[in-house]
Protein backbone atom coordinates (compact mmCIF):
# COMPACT_ATOMS: atom_id res chain seq x y z
CA UNK A 1 0.00 0.00 0.00
CA UNK A 2 1.07 3.63 -0.05
CA UNK A 3 3.27 5.26 2.53
CA UNK A 4 2.30 7.82 5.13
CA UNK A 5 4.13 10.45 3.09
CA UNK A 6 1.83 9.84 0.12
CA UNK A 7 -1.21 10.19 2.36
CA UNK A 8 0.23 13.43 3.77
CA UNK A 9 0.65 14.80 0.25
CA UNK A 10 -2.99 13.97 -0.55
CA UNK A 11 -4.16 15.79 2.59
CA UNK A 12 -1.94 18.76 1.68
CA UNK A 13 -3.50 18.91 -1.80
CA UNK A 14 -6.98 18.85 -0.22
CA UNK A 15 -6.01 21.76 2.03
CA UNK A 16 -4.63 23.78 -0.89
CA UNK A 17 -7.72 23.10 -3.00
CA UNK A 18 -9.89 24.27 -0.11
CA UNK A 19 -7.95 27.52 0.07
CA UNK A 20 -8.22 27.94 -3.72
CA UNK A 21 -11.98 27.43 -3.51
CA UNK A 22 -12.26 30.12 -0.84
CA UNK A 23 -10.19 32.47 -3.00
CA UNK A 24 -12.30 31.77 -6.09
CA UNK A 25 -15.53 32.40 -4.17
CA UNK A 26 -14.15 35.64 -2.75
CA UNK A 27 -13.20 36.83 -6.25
CA UNK A 28 -16.65 35.96 -7.64
CA UNK A 29 -15.51 33.00 -9.78
CA UNK A 30 -18.37 30.62 -8.98
CA UNK A 31 -17.84 28.24 -11.93
CA UNK A 32 -14.15 27.86 -11.11
CA UNK A 33 -15.03 27.26 -7.45
CA UNK A 34 -17.43 24.47 -8.44
CA UNK A 35 -14.74 22.78 -10.54
CA UNK A 36 -12.26 23.02 -7.68
CA UNK A 37 -14.86 21.60 -5.30
CA UNK A 38 -15.34 18.55 -7.52
CA UNK A 39 -11.57 18.02 -7.69
CA UNK A 40 -11.32 18.40 -3.91
CA UNK A 41 -14.08 15.83 -3.35
CA UNK A 42 -12.20 13.37 -5.56
CA UNK A 43 -9.09 13.87 -3.41
CA UNK A 44 -11.15 13.46 -0.21
CA UNK A 45 -12.47 10.11 -1.42
CA UNK A 46 -8.95 9.12 -2.49
CA UNK A 47 -7.61 9.95 0.98
CA UNK A 48 -10.38 7.96 2.66
CA UNK A 49 -9.74 4.99 0.39
CA UNK A 50 -5.98 5.09 1.01
CA UNK A 51 -6.34 5.35 4.76
CA UNK A 52 -8.88 2.51 4.99
CA UNK A 53 -6.63 0.18 2.98
CA UNK A 54 -3.67 1.04 5.15
CA UNK A 55 -5.64 0.30 8.32
CA UNK A 56 -6.59 -3.16 7.04
CA UNK A 57 -3.00 -3.92 6.05
CA UNK A 58 -1.74 -2.78 9.45
CA UNK A 59 -4.35 -4.91 11.18
CA UNK A 60 -3.23 -8.07 9.37
CA UNK A 61 0.42 -7.46 10.21
CA UNK A 62 -0.52 -6.67 13.82
CA UNK A 63 -2.37 -9.99 14.08
CA UNK A 64 0.61 -11.99 12.82
CA UNK A 65 3.00 -10.05 15.04
CA UNK A 66 0.72 -10.58 18.06
CA UNK A 67 0.51 -14.29 17.28
CA UNK A 68 4.32 -14.41 17.15
CA UNK A 69 4.65 -12.63 20.50
CA UNK A 70 1.93 -14.67 22.21
CA UNK A 71 2.86 -18.14 20.95
CA UNK A 72 6.57 -18.12 20.18
CA UNK A 73 8.00 -15.69 22.71
CA UNK A 74 8.49 -15.59 26.45
CA UNK A 75 8.29 -12.25 28.26
CA UNK A 76 11.55 -11.86 30.21
CA UNK A 77 11.36 -8.24 31.44
CA UNK A 78 8.50 -5.76 31.23
CA UNK A 79 8.32 -1.98 31.06
CA UNK A 80 12.08 -1.34 30.93
CA UNK A 81 12.80 2.39 31.33
CA UNK A 82 14.99 3.65 28.46
CA UNK A 83 15.31 7.26 29.53
CA UNK A 84 13.40 10.42 28.85
CA UNK A 85 13.32 10.43 25.04
CA UNK A 86 12.72 6.74 24.32
CA UNK A 87 9.70 4.53 24.87
CA UNK A 88 9.75 1.86 27.56
CA UNK A 89 10.37 -1.64 26.22
CA UNK A 90 9.60 -5.26 26.94
CA UNK A 91 12.34 -7.85 26.56
CA UNK A 92 11.15 -11.04 24.85
CA UNK A 93 12.93 -14.33 24.28
CA UNK A 94 11.77 -15.75 20.97
CA UNK A 95 13.55 -19.06 20.47
CA UNK A 96 17.25 -18.27 20.76
CA UNK A 97 16.78 -14.58 19.97
CA UNK A 98 16.20 -11.75 22.45
CA UNK A 99 13.87 -9.04 21.09
CA UNK A 100 13.31 -5.60 22.58
CA UNK A 101 9.84 -4.33 21.70
CA UNK A 102 8.20 -1.12 22.84
CA UNK A 103 5.51 -1.68 25.44
CA UNK A 104 2.86 -0.01 23.27
CA UNK A 105 3.75 -2.07 20.18
CA UNK A 106 3.72 -5.30 22.20
CA UNK A 107 0.38 -4.55 23.88
CA UNK A 108 -1.28 -3.44 20.62
CA UNK A 109 -0.09 -6.51 18.72
CA UNK A 110 -1.10 -9.01 21.41
CA UNK A 111 -4.48 -7.28 21.94
CA UNK A 112 -5.19 -7.30 18.19
CA UNK A 113 -4.27 -10.99 17.98
CA UNK A 114 -6.45 -11.89 20.99
CA UNK A 115 -9.41 -9.99 19.52
CA UNK A 116 -8.99 -11.80 16.19
CA UNK A 117 -8.96 -15.17 17.96
CA UNK A 118 -12.03 -14.16 19.97
CA UNK A 119 -13.85 -13.08 16.79
CA UNK A 120 -12.81 -16.22 14.93
CA UNK A 121 -10.66 -14.52 12.27
Could you tell me the pLDDT band of residue 39, with boundaries at 50, 70 and 90? confident
Other CB atoms within 10 Å distance of the CB of residue 70 = 15
pLDDT tens for residues 73-112? 999 999 999 888 888 999 999 999 999 999 999 999 999 8
77 bridge partner residues:
91
- pLDDT over threshold 70, residue 116: yes
What is the SS3 assignment for 1?
coil
Indicate the angle between helix axes 103-119 and 30-72, nearest 10 degrees. Answer: 90
Least confident residue range of 34-38, 70-74, 109-113? 34-38
Highest mean pLDDT among 61-65, 66-70, 116-120: 66-70
**Nearest residue to 37 (alpha-carbon basis) of 51, 59, 19:** 19
Amino acid sequence: MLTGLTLSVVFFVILMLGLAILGAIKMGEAKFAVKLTVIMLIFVFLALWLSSGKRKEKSLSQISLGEHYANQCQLIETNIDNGLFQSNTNKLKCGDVIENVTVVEYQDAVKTYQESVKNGN
